Amino acid sequence: MPRTLDRREIIRLGGTALGLATVMPRRLLGRAPAVHTGSVKPAVVASRNGLRSRDTAGATCVEKAFALLTGESDPLDALLAGVNIVERDPEDSSVGYGGLPNADGVVQLDSCCMHGPKRRAGGVAALEGVRTPSLVAQAVADHTDHHLIVGDDAQRFARTMGFEIEDDLNTEKSRRLWLEWKRRSDPRHYPDPESRALAQHRAGLAMVAEGLIDPEHYYGTINCNGLSPRGELAGVTTTSGLAWKIPGRVGDSPILGAGLYVDAAVGAAGSTGRGEANLFHLASFLVVEEMRRGAAPKDAGLAALERVAANTVEKRLLNSRGLPAFGLSFYVLNAHGEHAGVSMYSSSYAVCTENGPEILPTEALYDGQSEG
């Protein structure tokens, strides 16, 4: 028969448990593990441009994605149908057709997607000639054993998959803005590389300040994550990248764990803003891991921003307050349907639930503006 503990043993064991609790990291105490039970609230969350571009029927990205997600559509197919609206919009200069080009005037696109239930992902980088890189990323996931294909070979792959290849994805607007940037930052006026890069960056920011470029479009990108009524998670991120970037530059958007991360049992997170800051920390993966340990979406996102801020030490990346001189945002959704948008400085994000589409303020890590 089982041995009965006497009073002294009970006290001794209780003291041991208390001692273990005192040496556990404080941030883990009181946190429940990410075990999800109960009802699921379907939702689609996205960067702010997810509630701007419209298709011929008048639907925005988050509206279309939510309508399909709550029907019988595959969760990733639903999200892709939403972001394709933005990718194809010639007036949105942050992604796809008409995205702001690189320093040579060429539109190069990046994207990745993740399918939670299938545990499958795909991405493309520095892709030219295809308006919807997110669909090429999906083809990588569905038709290959790989996660990322880049450059000319990404275009070659797209061609073999039947995608239309165009010679130039510039619109009249994107080409006009590129020519204006070139006029302001002609590198012949700046003999050394450091001065040249600084002048080009200042020219771009001046165009933002003058209202020629949407502040969010200077860095580009749309991220969109969704949870179906069946508890299926998926996500997609797509971008034309940093305006006037060095040709071939790839940011965080097509990199799993940086521009996007989805865990079928926990949640999804994606990002817009300075890609290099996100890449250095694989911050979307970090956000999901924080939720796995029991953090709410908002707290998980802020933890990632705090990590980025703590590791931003180069003077050129700091503003007059000694804080990061750049924007960075995360769009976070857990497996219950709870969501949040967080940002380095004040911003907003798009969401669609059973209550309809809306723009909500993000939770900002710092007051004011980046000054970057």
Mean residue pLDDT of the chain comes to 87
Phi, psi of 328 (to 5 degrees): -155, 130
Average pLDDT over residues 342-352: 97
The C-alpha atoms of residue 142 and residue 130 are separated, in whole angstroms, by 18
Average pLDDT over residues 184-197: 54
Q: 163 pLDDT exceeds 90? A: yes
pLDDT band at 182 (very low <50, low <70, confident <90, very high): confident
Q: 139 pLDDT exceeds 70? A: yes
Please indicate whether residue 59 or residue 1 has the higher confidence score (pLDDT).
Answer: 59
221: annotated active-site residue: yes
Q: 36 pLDDT exceeds 50? A: no
For position 295, what pLDDT does the model report?
98
> CB neighbours of 291 closer than 8 A, spacing ≥ 6?
34, 266, 267, 269, 297, 300, 332, 334
For position 19, what pLDDT does the model report?
40
**Which of 27-31, 83-87, 163-167, 177-181 shows the lowest mean pLDDT across its residues?**
27-31
The C-alpha atoms of residue 308 and residue 147 are separated, in whole angstroms, by 26
**What's domain 43-364's superfamily in CATH?**
(Glycosyl)asparaginase (3.60.20.30)
Q: 56 pLDDT exceeds 90? A: yes
Dihedral angle over CA of 306, 109, 98, 259, nearest 10: -20
Please state the pTM of the whole predicted model: 0.83
For position 25, what pLDDT does the model report?
36
Catalytic residue selected from 60, 70, 132, 221: 221
Average pLDDT over residues 166-187: 88
pLDDT band at 207 (very low <50, low <70, confident <90, very high): low
For position 26, what pLDDT does the model report?
31
For position 270, what pLDDT does the model report?
98
- pLDDT more than 70, % of the chain: 80
Average pLDDT over residues 19-27: 35
For position 334, what pLDDT does the model report?
98
Neighbours of 310 (CB within 10 A): 10
Neighbours of 268 (CB within 10 A): 33
pLDDT band at 203 (very low <50, low <70, confident <90, very high): low
Residue for token pair 């804080």: 323
Q: What are the structure tokens assigned to 165, written together?
A: 């290849």
Contact 248, 224 (CB under 8 A): no
Contact 137, 112 (CB under 8 A): yes
Q: 364 pLDDT exceeds 70? A: yes
Single out the residue of 11, 75, 46, 77 nearest to residue 350, CA to CA. Answer: 46
pLDDT band at 195 (very low <50, low <70, confident <90, very high): low
Average pLDDT over residues 127-151: 98
Total residue length of the chain: 372
Q: What are the structure tokens assigned to 226, written together?
A: 């969704």
